[in-house]
């Protein structure tokens, strides 16, 4: 019994949609950085005091922006290795973009209560979902034969290892966030760097 041929879709349309989603998300992330308590015609001392109050959320925003940017790079790296896409791979991509679109919400929860275990779990679980969908889409693309024939095996393995490291790092960070919220970010960075080091070909 023959299997139906997967519907071939132009990958450029999906890439353009992804870029649009990322552009909106990266813009929305900054909206939670507000100087709500700064009075009109504030003095220099009041401005500096207000900026010191948002120093910690600002660091969280920079970290969030960097991770979302990393996902954009990895997503584009994946698409650069494909010849086309299919409906099933598009579903994986839409699930990935769904997770990305939730980032302004999870970052808002995180910035409002950075020391809360629940807030950190929501934040890093969002990252874990995005990473898992990106890895799932890449593995699906490999199985479906969407990777260009000119791409060598070492490049395929390298991207697979990088995406796997991100998934493991975000899952570990989510677990750590439940018990030690202030160490979750460090756990993510350490795990990802360690896995990349020990899985180099």
Output the DSSP codes for 39-86: PTT--HHHHHHHHHHTHHHHHHHHHHHHHHHHHHHHHHHHHHTBS-EE
Q: Is 106 inside a domain boundary?
A: yes
Cα separation of 123 and 64, whole Å?
9
Q: Is 130 inside a domain boundary?
A: yes
Question: How many independent structural domains does the chain possess?
Answer: 1
Q: Is 1 inside a domain boundary?
A: no
Q: Is 74 inside a domain boundary?
A: yes
Average pLDDT, the chain: 87
Domain containing residue 166:
9-198
Q: Is 191 inside a domain boundary?
A: yes
pLDDT recorded at residue 45: 81
| Residue bearing the bigger pLDDT, 35 or 172 | 172
Q: Is 2 inside a domain boundary?
A: no
Q: Is 3 inside a domain boundary?
A: no
pTM score: 0.86
pLDDT recorded at residue 142: 95
Under 8 Å CB-to-CB from 193, ≥6 apart: which residues? none
Q: Is 15 inside a domain boundary?
A: yes
pLDDT tens string 3-31: 555 566 788 889 999 999 999 999 988 88
């Amino acid at each position: 019994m023959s299997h139906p041929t997967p519907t071939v879709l132009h990958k450029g349309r999906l890439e353009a949609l992804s870029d649009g989603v990322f552009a909106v998300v990266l813009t929305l992330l900054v909206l939670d950085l507000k100087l709500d308590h700064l009075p009109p015609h504030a003095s220099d001392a009041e401005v500096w005091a207000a900026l010191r109050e948002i120093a910690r959320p600002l660091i969280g925003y920079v970290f969030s922006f960097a991770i979302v940017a990393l996902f954009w790079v990895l997503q584009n790296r994946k698409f650069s290795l494909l010849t086309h896409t299919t409906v099933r791979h598009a579903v994986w991509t839409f699930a990935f973009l769904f997770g990305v679109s939730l980032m302004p919400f999870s970052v808002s929860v995180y910035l409002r209560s950075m020391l809360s275990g629940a807030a950190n779990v929501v934040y890093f679980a969002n990252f874990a979902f995005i990473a898992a969908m990106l890895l799932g889409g890449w593995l699906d693309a490999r199985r479906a034969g969407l990777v260009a024939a000119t791409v060598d095996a070492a490049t395929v393995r390298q991207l697979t290892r990088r995406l796997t490291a991100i998934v493991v790092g975000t899952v570990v960070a989510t677990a750590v966030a439940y018990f030690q919220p202030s160490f979750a970010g460090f756990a993510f960075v350490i795990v990802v760097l360690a896995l990349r080091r020990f899985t180099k070909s």
